[in-house]
Amino acid sequence: MQKKQKTPKKQKTPKKYKPRKTLKTQKTKYPRNAPQGTHRTNWKKIKNNYAPRMSSPINYSKFDQIDVSSSDDERKSRKPQLTKLGRKDKVVLSPSGLTILKDGNGEINDADVCKSINQEHSEPHIESKSLGVTKNDVAQRDKNEDALKNKRNLENMITNGAVVPFKYIWNQSVQEINAYIALPLYTKAKSLVVQIQEDKMVVKKDVKQGEAAHITSAQSTNGTSNHEEVLIDKPFPFKVSEDEDTQLWEIKNIRINWEDIFHLANEVNNQNLQFNFGESSIEKEETFLCINLKKKYEFEGFYVWWSCLFKDDQQINLSSLPTRKAMNKTGNNSTSFKNIWQEAHETFKKNISKRGLPRRVDL
């Protein structure tokens, strides 16, 4: 017997790999009003709640009532205006516009034309003239106000005080002293050393070594390249407070005329001080060290009027000071200081007499 031959098995052809069909995912756009933490799975459920709703339909009938026009159409519709002139008609050009002059007979005189033109030009001329006068009046009024304001400021600088020409200006009240010390022009505050003690004031200025060669009183400071020029070193006639909170100073530039302010101080304070200015002085800008000092009193309730800013200066007449005279006057609801002093003195003598102390007897 013959064996059956085995038929070779067919080889299986490998199947081609087909990738799975994937669905294209679209990014879901969440509206602005969607709650935070919204997930893709539940978005479709809440989409209808947060989806924007369409407003009412647009009414296009409104656009039918719009009148469409163009500036070119208006220009085309305009027609030039023509005026027919006769042989004897005249045209006058003036600031008010174009004027056509006609006469009943078609004639017009040149004098009438000149007269009409003059009438048109006369009114603006009068208006401009009145405006010019008004401007001049306003300028003059402003100038007078500035002069009056400047005079008041100068009076405040010298009230109850005096002027030492080209050195300093000072004024006083019951409790304070205000001094204006003249400095070299445009002196800076950072270059000054101001020392105010109970009985004197010292003002120094830092000067560079090259500029301090001519200064005999210059002193070297800690071996540095700067020197100190002593501007003021004078004692006060009375004591002032040493509290730094009450010692205020600043730098100011003021335009003054020394001769004018000197005579103004005599007038305001009822003084008769003299000074030889020589040639007429002019108004110029000066740099001042403005200092505010507090008077120091030995006894509470007593105050002292200063007759000078520094010792050895020319003294003023205290009895003529305007503020002191006003305070010593007796009013309806006030008593003069002189009367109070007399009453206190009489009370003091009575108390002494009651004690039985020995007293001097004039023979």
- Chain mean pLDDT for the chain: 75
Q: Which of 11-15, 129-133, 163-167 is the most confident on average?
A: 163-167
The fraction of the chain above a pLDDT of 90, given in percent, is: 32
Mean pLDDT of 179-194: 94
Residue 268 has pLDDT above 90, yes or no: yes
Q: With contact defined as beta carbons under 8 Å apart, do 287 and 169 qualify?
A: no
Residue 119 has pLDDT above 60, yes or no: no
Domain 159-342 has CATH 2.60.40.790: yes
Q: With contact defined as beta carbons under 8 Å apart, do 344 and 335 qualify?
A: no
| Per-residue model confidence (pLDDT) at position 355 | 72
| Per-residue model confidence (pLDDT) at position 13 | 67
What CA–CA distance (Å, rounded) separates 246 from 288?
19
In the chain, the amino acid numbered 228 is: E
| Per-residue model confidence (pLDDT) at position 348 | 83
Q: Specify the range with the lowest mean pLDDT, choosing from 86-95, 237-246, 261-270, 328-337.
A: 328-337
Of 253, 257, 247, 234, whose CA–CA distance to 188 is shortest? Answer: 253
Mean pLDDT of 209-221: 50
Q: With contact defined as beta carbons under 8 Å apart, do 262 and 170 qualify?
A: no
| Per-residue model confidence (pLDDT) at position 102 | 74
Count of positions (residues) in the chain? 363
Q: Which of 103-112, 316-325, 350-359 is the most confident on average?
A: 316-325
Helix (H, G, I), strand (E, B) or coil at 115: helix
Instruction: Pick the more confident residue, 288 or 327.
Output: 288
Which tens digit of pLDDT belongs to each residue from 303-321? 789 999 999 899 999 999 9
Cα 22 off chain centre by: 77
- Kindly list the distances between the CA atom of residue 293 and the CA atoms of 176, 205, 241, 300, in Å, as whole numbers in the listed order: 6, 20, 7, 18
Residue 264 has pLDDT above 70, yes or no: yes
Q: With contact defined as beta carbons under 8 Å apart, do 271 and 143 qualify?
A: no
Give backbone dihedrals phi and psi of 141, rounded to 5 degrees, phi first: -65, -40
What CA–CA distance (Å, rounded) separates 189 from 291?
12
The model scores a pTM over 0.85: no
Of 197, 205, 204, whose CA–CA distance to 235 is shortest? Answer: 197
Q: Specify the range with the lowest mean pLDDT, choosing from 122-136, 242-256, 268-282.
A: 122-136
Of 288, 262, 297, whose CA–CA distance to 276 is shortest? Answer: 262
Which tens digit of pLDDT belongs to each residue from 153-178? 899 999 999 999 999 999 999 999 99
Of 250, 140, 231, 242, whose CA–CA distance to 190 is shortest? Answer: 250
| Per-residue model confidence (pLDDT) at position 90 | 81
What CA–CA distance (Å, rounded) separates 55 from 41?
28
Q: With contact defined as beta carbons under 8 Å apart, do 251 and 289 qualify?
A: yes
Mean pLDDT of 103-113: 49
Instruction: Pick the more confident residue, 166 or 86.
Output: 166
In 238-306, at which residue ranges do the beta strands (DSSP E only) sit? Answer: 248-256, 284-294
